[in-house]
Amino acid sequence: MEQAFWKEAVVYQIYPRSFKDSNGDGIGDLQGIHSKLDYLKELGVDVIWLSPVYKSPNDDNGYDISDYYDIMDEFGTLQDWEELLAGLHNRGMKLMMDLVVNHSSDEHAWFMESRSSKDNPYRDYYIWRPGHEDGTAPNNWTSFFSGSAWQYDDTTAEYYLHLFTKKQPDLNWENPKLRQSIYDMMTFWLDKGVDGFRMDVINLISKVPGLPDDGKEGLSDGSPYYMNGPRIHEFLREMNEQVLSKYEVMTVGEAPGATVEEAIKYTGKDRHELQMVFQFEHMDVDSGAEGKWDLVPWTLPKLREVLHKWQTGLAEDGWNSLYLNNHDQPRMVSRFGNDKEYRGESAKMLATLLHTLKGTPYIFQGEELGMTNVKFISIEEYRDVEIHNMYNEKVVQGGADPGTIMQAIETKGRDNARTPMQWNTEANAGFTTGTPWISVNPNYTEINAEAAVADPESIFHYYRKLIALRKQNPVMVYGDYELIMQDHEQIYAYTRTLNQEKWLIVLNFTGEPVMLDLPDGLRTEGGRLIITNYPEDGMNAGELRPYEARVYSLK
Ligand code: TEU
Ligand code: CA
- Per-residue pLDDT averaged across 70-86, rounded? 98
Which atom of ligand 1 is nearest to 63's Cα?
23
**pLDDT given at position 23:** 98
**Separation of alpha carbons 477 and 48, rounded Å:** 19
What average pLDDT does the chain have? 98
Identify which ligand lies nearest to the alpha carbon of 420: 2
Cα of 335 from ligand 1 centre, angstroms:
18
In 10 A of CB 369, how many CB atoms? 23
Mutating to test ligand 1, I would choose from 144, 254, 383 the residue with most ligand atoms within 8 A of its C-beta, which is: 144
**Separation of alpha carbons 333 and 345, rounded Å:** 10
Q: With cut-offs at 50, 70 and 90, classify the pLDDT of residue 32.
A: very high
**Separation of alpha carbons 461 and 407, rounded Å:** 33
- Per-residue pLDDT averaged across 23-27, rounded? 98
**pLDDT of 1 above 80:** no
Helix ranges (H only) for 418-504 are 449-454, 459-472, 474-478
In 10 A of CB 37, how many CB atoms? 16
**pLDDT of 146 above 90:** yes
CB 98, CB 51: distance < 8 Å = yes
The ligand 1 site (C-beta within 6 Å) comprises 60, 63, 100, 144, 164, 200-201, 254, 256, 292, 327-328, 386
Find residue 484's DSSP bridge partners. 493
**pLDDT of 155 above 90:** yes
Residue nearest to atom 5 of ligand 1 (CA): 328
Residue nearest to atom 18 of ligand 1 (CA): 63
CB 545, CB 508: distance < 8 Å = yes
Cα of 30 from ligand 2 centre, angstroms:
8
Provide DSSP, 375-433: --SSGGG---HHHHHHHIIIIIIT---HHHHHHHHHHH-GGGGTSPP--SSSGGGGS-S
Residue nearest to atom 10 of ligand 1 (CA): 328
Cα of 62 from ligand 2 centre, angstroms:
15
Q: How many residues comprise the chain?
A: 555
**pLDDT given at position 166:** 98
- Per-residue pLDDT averaged across 119-134, rounded? 98
Identify which ligand lies nearest to the alpha carbon of 163: 1
Domains in the chain, please, with CATH? 1-100+320-374+419-472 (3.20.20.80), 109-161 (3.90.400.10), 191-318 (no CATH), 477-553 (2.60.40.1180)
CB 494, CB 538: distance < 8 Å = no
Which atom of ligand 1 is nearest to 283's Cα?
10
**pLDDT of 538 above 90:** no
Cα of 19 from ligand 2 centre, angstroms:
10
**pLDDT of 297 above 80:** yes
Cα of 201 from ligand 1 centre, angstroms:
7
**pLDDT of 17 above 80:** yes
More confident of the two residues 539 and 192:
192
CA torsion 531-536-541-545 (nearest 10°) is -90
Cα of 252 from ligand 1 centre, angstroms:
15
Question: Roughly what angle, to the nearest 10 degrees, separates helices 176-191 and 232-242?
Answer: 40
**pLDDT of 441 above 80:** yes
- DSSP SS3 for 123: helix
φ, ψ dihedrals at 295, nearest 5°: -75, 125
* pTM of this structure: 0.98
Identify which ligand lies nearest to the alpha carbon of 60: 1
φ, ψ dihedrals at 470, nearest 5°: -60, -35
**Separation of alpha carbons 291 and 114, rounded Å:** 34
Which atom of ligand 1 is nearest to 145's Cα?
11
**pLDDT given at position 215:** 96
Identify which ligand lies nearest to the alpha carbon of 199: 1
Q: What percent of the chain has pLDDT over 70?
A: 100
Cα of 15 from ligand 2 centre, angstroms:
13
pLDDT digits (tens, 9 = 90+) for 164-223: 999 999 999 999 999 999 999 999 999 999 999 999 999 999 999 999 999 999 999 999
Residue nearest to atom 14 of ligand 1 (CA): 200
Residue nearest to atom 20 of ligand 1 (CA): 63
Which atom of ligand 1 is nearest to 326's Cα?
15
* DSSP-assigned letter for residue 220: B
Residue nearest to atom 17 of ligand 1 (CA): 328
Query: If 0-12 CB within 10 Å is exposed, 13-18 middle and 19+ buried, where does residue 191 land?
Result: exposed
Mutating to test ligand 1, I would choose from 53, 106, 167, 200 the residue with most ligand atoms within 8 A of its C-beta, which is: 200
Which atom of ligand 1 is nearest to 385's Cα?
19
- Which helix (H) or strand (E) segment holds residue 262: the answer is helix 260-267
Identify which ligand lies nearest to the alpha carbon of 32: 2
Residues designated as active site:
200, 254
Residue nearest to atom 8 of ligand 1 (CA): 328
Which atom of ligand 1 is nearest to 64's Cα?
23
- Per-residue pLDDT averaged across 376-385, rounded? 98
Provide DSSP, 110-131: HHHHHHH-TTSTTGGGB-EE--
- Per-residue pLDDT averaged across 327-348, rounded? 98
